[in-house]
Structure 1
Amino acid sequence: MADFLMVLAEGVAEPKSFGILTATTWVSIAMTIFIAILLWKKVPALIAGMLDNKIAEISKQLKEAEQLRLDAESLKAEYEAKLADAAKEADEMRARADAEAEALVAKAKTDATALIARRKQMAEDRIAAAEAGALAEVRTAAAKAATEAAARLIADKHDAAADKALVDQAIAGVAKG
């Protein structure tokens, strides 16, 4: 089959116009004219200009993106610093709160101790007052009982003659004195 194609290709003549121009020559001429028109109308410069504009726009966008990235990084650093400051402040607040709580507990213990001491002293004072009152009542009762007993003894053992002797003795003591 390859032989048949060879024979066919050798036997077929390529068409020509004007006796010398083949199809390949016409395509070459058309391409040369097309490229010449493109060069005459400065199409490569236009394309290069459009590409340069596109490159400039992309470069501008890249610079803006870089600036945005730098701004984002600075914001991130700023917020990380704020977060660290907030954490440090929270730790300081926690430490102050712990210290205040310890101080309040110590004050409460001191106040409770003082209150217990005051209440103990008040109880001891009440007990002492009750003891003094009871002792006074006992003394009063004893004095009253002794007075009543003495009055009964005197009434039982002293009569008018004993009274006369006592009065005479008192008068004699006044007269001497």
Structure 2
Amino acid sequence: MRKVLSIAALLVGASVAPALAADGPFFSLRNTDFVVLLAFLLFIGVLIWAKVPALIVRVLDARAETIRAQLAEARALRDEAAALLASYEQKQKEVQEQAARIVEVARREAEAAAEKARADIETSVARRLSAAEDQIASAHKAAIKDVRDRAASVAIAAARDVIAGQMDATKGNKLIDDAIKTVDAQLH
């Protein structure tokens, strides 16, 4: 290494006088072009002696191998991501199908519940209507019975008054009793 430094110092010292390089022969230390050529060749020689090209090749090979490894890893990650995406898309499709089935089942259940409620309401209305009709019929029968009872009472009272005025007491009592029995038999 000392040898390389001393040669470099000599070359630098020789190239200090560029004005002198223009005159004279090409193979002279006073010619700057020659000095630069020598310095360049010396620099290339030092690089080769220090095995820099092999080092550069190793570094580039290592870098190329790193890039290949990164590319392989990126491909693997891309393939894994594609598989994961396909898996998620499949799961999303399954979830959407399941949601559609749930909605359909809920719709059918709601329709069935509405139909059952409609039937229950119709049954309830029919029962209430029947009960109301029964109450109306019962009230009608009670009203008819009440009217008959009053009519019978009024008829009996009127017959009693008419017969009492036309008949004597014994005959009148007998006719009243017969009329009461007849009316009572007809009403019940």
Give TM-score, length-normalised by structure 1: 0.70
**Match for residue 111 of structure 2?**
102
Tell me how far apart the structure 2 counterparts of residues 137 and 162 of structure 1 sit (CA, whole Å): 30
Tell me which of 11, 15, 23 is aligned to 2:25: 15
Q: Percent identity?
A: 39
- Report if aligned partners of 1:38, 1:44 keep a CA contact under 8 Å in 2: yes
Shift of 1:88: 0.3
Unaligned regions of 5+ residues in structure 2, if any? 1-22, 175-188
Amino acid at match of 1:119: R
Out of 134, 153, 159, which is 1:125 matched to? Answer: 134
Give the superposition deviation at 1:27: 6.4
Q: Secondary structure at the match of 1:136?
A: helix
**More contact order relative to length (CA 8 Å, sep ≥ 6):** 2
Q: 1:15 to 1:125 in 2, by over 3 A?
A: same
Q: Which residue of 2 aligns with 1:60?
A: 69
* Aligned mates of 1:71, 1:124 — CA distance in 2: 77
Structure 2-normalised TM-score?
0.67
Q: How does 1:85-100 map to 2 (within 5 A)?
A: 85-100=94-109
Tell me how far 1:59 sits from its aligned partner.
1.6
Structure 1, unmatched stretches of 5+, are: 1-12, 167-177
Query: How many corresponding residue pairs?
Result: 152
> Which of 77, 84, 87 is the matching residue for 1:75?
84
Q: Which amino acid aligns with 1:94?
A: V
Alignment RMSD (CA, Å): 3.0
Note the C-alpha offset of 1:28.
Answer: 6.3
**Aligned partners of 1:163 and 1:82: how far apart in 2?**
106
Cross-structure match for 2:14: none
For residues 106-117 of structure 1, the aligned pairs below 5 Å read: 106-117=115-126
Offset, 1:126: 1.7
Relative distance call for 1:89 and 1:138 in structure 2 (3 A) is: same
Answer whether contact 2:164 2:172 (CA < 8 A) is retained: no
